[in-house]
Amino acid sequence: MTAGRPVRRGGAARVISVVGELLITAGVVLALFVVYSLWWTNVVADRHAARAADKVRQQWSQGSQGAPARGLDTKDGIGFLHVPAMGRNYEVLVKKGTATDVLNEGVAGYYTDPTPAAMPWDPAGNFTLAAHRDGHGAKFHNINKIHDGDPVVFESKDTWYVYKVYKVLDQTSKYDVAVTDQVPKESGRNKPGRYITLTTCTPVYTSRYRYVVWGELVRTQKVDAQRTPPPELR
Angle value at C-alpha 180, between 178 and 181, nearest 5 degrees: 65
In a 10 Å sphere around its CB, with 0-12 CB exposed, 13-18 middle and 19+ buried, how is residue 196 labelled?
A: buried
> What is the Cα–Cα distance from 135 to 163, expressed in whole angstroms?
27
Asked whether the beta carbons of 86 and 146 are under 8 A apart, the reply is yes
To the query of whether residue 18 is one of the catalytic residues in this protein, the response is no
CA distances to 52, 69, 130, 131, 198 from 99, rounded to whole Å, are: 17, 23, 10, 10, 15
Q: Please, are residues 92 and 131 in contact by the beta-carbon 8 Å criterion?
A: yes
Q: Which of 49, 162, 201, 233 is catalytic?
A: 201
Residues annotated catalytic, as ranges = 201
